[in-house]
Copies of this chain bind each other. A is one copy, B any other.
Amino acid sequence: MDKITLSHGSGGTLMHKLIDSVIMKEFDNNILRQKKDSAILTIGKTRIAFTTDSYVVNPIFFPGGDIGSLAVHGTVNDLSVCGARPAHLSFGLIIEEGLDKSILEKIVRSAAAAAEKAGVSIVTGDTKVVERGSCDKIFINTSGLGEIYYDKLSPDRIKAGDKVIVSGPIGEHAISVLSGREGIEFKTKVKSDSAALNRLIEKVLKASGTSVKFMRDPTRGGVATTLNEITASHKFGIALDEKAVPVSDGVGQACELLGFDPLYLACEGRVIFIAAAKEADKILKIIRKDKNGKRANIIGEITKEEKGKVCLNTAAGGRRLVDMLSGEQLPRIC
């Protein structure tokens, strides 16, 4: 009998297949079929984005963040990459019986601080408690709403020559969670990049006319999976330049030691922009002025060749295909 495995939740091809064969099949509708980070709806005359995410990260506290702030950042970012201004969040808790109240307080306080910093309100919530052993400490669902203020995001606008920009070093969230979980210390300490990107994104969009054509935050499955999602079923490919991909020393060391490829590691405070070539340098400058974007870089470009695929020009001078993984390297990363 078919069983659900950890890989079904990891952002790779197995998850996409499960979603297509079970979820999309049953819930089929036009909005869901867009497969965006948020659903785009019209309420009255206002276009809004609506999104949901459940957070099951293990451990609940990790270098650079915790499940509370992560739950706020993740949903704020899912709205932001759809051109929406995040405004209202829900906060649903599932708590394991026996959790210290002080831990709950710490997590809620962290979520509240993250919400305040991002300028969003938590307006509705729910609290469930399950028996000891029926969940792992605490799970949080945040759903979010925001008005669309930039409606020029569409993969159909992407064309050969457009640039792929990443807002900072990749994989820091995944490595920080891994080190927190396993108690591994790397030579250079890695902190999660978990952060709300709504302000950074808004600055870019306001300053660059209609040049930004697409955005996505490379969470589960990392940059490789996100770029594959963008090229999939489209008539363009992406050529990445390995030398240009920002990777911090700590992440680089961890990948060398553990055999991970940073392109597949989750970020929680990075965004990928696809933008017209002529504006790419200007956009890069704007991103780099933001405290979450100091090490942003142009990491590749859209190509006519190898339609639907992502290729990497390696630092060693070779060229290889960057596929979507079937599962993921690390479960419960968010």
Instruction: Write the residues of chain A forming the contact surface with B, with a CB cutoff of 8 angstroms.
Output: 1-10, 15, 18-19, 22-23, 26-27, 29, 31-32, 38-39, 41, 43-46, 48, 50-56, 58, 88, 90-102, 104-105, 108-109, 111-112, 115, 121-131, 133-136, 139, 141, 143, 145, 147, 331-332
Q: A1-B101, A141-B141 are in contact. List 4 more A-B contacts (CB 8 A).
A: A3-B97, A4-B95, A27-B122, A135-B139
Decide if A123 touches B41 in the complex (CB within 8 Å).
Answer: yes
Query: In this complex, which of A48, A54, A136 has the most chain B Cβ atoms within 10 angstroms of its Cβ?
Result: A54
Q: Are B26 and A109 in contact (CB under 8 A)?
A: yes
CA distance A121 to B27 in the complex (A): 8
How many copies of the polypeptide does the oligomer hold? 2
Interchain CB contact under 8 A, B134 and A4:
no
Expressed in whole angstroms, the Cα–Cα distance for A98 and B31 within the complex equals: 30
A41 to B48, CA, bound (A): 13
Cα(A91)–Cα(B60), bound, Å: 23
Residues of B within 8 A of A48 (CB): 43
* A139 cross-chain contacts in B, Cβ below 8 A: 54, 94, 135, 139
Closest B residue to A38 by CB, please name it. B124
Contact B26 A112 (CB under 8 A): yes
**Residue A43 contacts which of B46, B51, B128, B141 (CB distance < 8 angstroms)?**
B46
